[in-house]
């Protein structure tokens, strides 16, 4: 069993406009609403790839029934602590004129110590049979600094994958030593406060976390590809050339792919290839639809890995 944790889920609303005109009336050409939150995304990808997975989290009571219904339709096992407030809505504005995606993300309902203590107890109980746990996504308002570190300590003994940035990543790496971290390049730069413009500097940045006790680090770099780093190995995979429809959720799909790879190969370096294929398959789907398994299987054969 794999468990993903999503402490700040959302509805992902994707709207398409011919061209985004700031300060003007914009006519929406198409729109869709999907369930969202990085932990939910990872769970959906893992489930579609054939893994046994559940998702745990916290969500506002207002909108909880609708979000739960979407997870049920996906046949996704889930257990969320409901609290006062609204499930947030994150809006992605896709401009067809080539301006990219503009995101408007709501903060989510506020938590307090009592809520966090209740969720930590739920997480410890529900992960008893889990081999791996994925902690990813933004934290809701009210979470103290070091929340992910503290949650990782509660889950001691599990192979934990952490996808976050900034102080949360730094404190978790130092204080809880996760099995794998997966920042993207922007997140790694923001965490360290430096620009990373060469393969060597990106590798050295990842090694900083490995030296703190992280076993494996994967840095996704968009069109530049991705890099895997451990204490004794550095691998690079160039990005696959596919038709890009939406990059939303690509990092989450990458984690889902690596979960499948690790389940099959029992080796995270070999699992890296599966992550590359899953991330590429994800960008081939519209909005936040995440992944089609047949796309993933075709792309897996195309992944090229080279040792650096």
The residues that are catalytic are 252
Tens digits of residue pLDDT in 168-217: 999 999 999 999 999 999 999 999 999 999 999 999 999 999 999 999 99
What is the predicted pLDDT for the residue at 287?
56
Distances from the Cα of 221 to the Cα of 184, 190, 236, 264, angstroms: 6, 14, 11, 25
What ranges do the domains of the chain cover? 39-80+110-307
What is the C-alpha to C-alpha distance for residues 137 and 6, in angstroms, rounded to an integer?
A: 7
Only one residue has tokens 């408007």, namely 104
H or E stretch at 100? strand 100-105
Q: Supply the pLDDT for residue 93.
A: 93
Please name the residue that has the structure tokens 């996808």.
163
Task: Please list the residues that pair with 162 across neighbouring strands.
Answer: 135, 181
pLDDT of residue 254: 96
The residues, any chain, with a CB within 8 Å of residue 69's CB and separated by 6 or more, are: none
Query: What's residue 247's pLDDT?
Result: 75
Please state the pTM of the whole predicted model: 0.93
Residue 285: the pLDDT is 80
Instruction: Determine phi and psi for 151, rounding to 5 degrees.
Output: -70, -40
**SS3 (DSSP) at 282:** helix
**Pairwise CA distance, residues 58 & 23, whole Å:** 35
How far is Cα 305 from Cα 258, in angstroms, rounded to an integer?
Answer: 14
- In this prediction, the residues of the chain whose per-residue pLDDT falls under 50 are none
- Which helix (DSSP H) or strand (DSSP E) does residue 12 occupy? strand 10-17
Across 267-283, b (16+ Cβ under 10 Å) vs e yields: ebbbbbbbbbbbbbbbb
Please give the CATH superfamily to which domain 39-80+110-307 belongs. Ribokinase (3.40.1190.20)
Question: Closest Cα partner for 127 from 54, 71, 197?
Answer: 54
């Amino acid at each position: 069993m794999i468990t993903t944790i999503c402490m700040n889920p959302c509805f992902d609303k994707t709207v398409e406009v011919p061209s985004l005109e700031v300060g003007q009336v914009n006519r929406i050409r198409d729109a869709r609403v999907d369930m969202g939150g990085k932990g939910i995304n990872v769970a959906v990808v893992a489930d579609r790839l054939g893994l046994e997975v559940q998702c745990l989290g916290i969500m506002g009571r207002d909108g909880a029934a609708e979000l739960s219904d979407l997870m049920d339709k996906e046949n996704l096992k889930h257990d969320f602590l409901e609290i006062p407030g609204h499930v947030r809505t994150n809006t992605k504005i896709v401009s067809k004129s080539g301006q990219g995606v503009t995101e408007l993300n709501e903060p989510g309902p506020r938590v307090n110590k009592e809520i966090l203590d209740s969720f930590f107890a739920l997480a410890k109980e529900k992960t008893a049979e889990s081999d791996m746990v994925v902690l990813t996504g933004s934290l809701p308002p009210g979470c103290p600094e070091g929340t992910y570190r503290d949650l990782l300590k509660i889950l001691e003994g599990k192979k934990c994958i952490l996808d976050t940035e900034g102080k949360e990543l730094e404190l978790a790496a130092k204080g809880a030593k996760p099995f794998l971290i997966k920042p993207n390049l922007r997140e790694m730069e923001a965490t360290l406060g430096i620009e990373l413009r060469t393969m060597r500097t990106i590798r050295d940045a990842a090694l900083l976390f490995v030296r703190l006790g992280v076993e494996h680090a994967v840095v996704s770099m968009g069109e530049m590809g991705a890099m895997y780093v451990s204490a004794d190995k550095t691998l690079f995979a160039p990005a696959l050339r596919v038709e890009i429809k939406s990059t939303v959720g690509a990092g989450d799909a990458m984690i889902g792919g690596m979960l499948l790879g690790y389940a099959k190969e029992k080796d995270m370096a070999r699992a890296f290839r599966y992550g590359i294929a899953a991330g590429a398959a994800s960008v081939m789907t519209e909005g936040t639809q995440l992944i089609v398994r047949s796309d993933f299987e075709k792309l897996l054969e195309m992944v090229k890995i080279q040792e650096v």
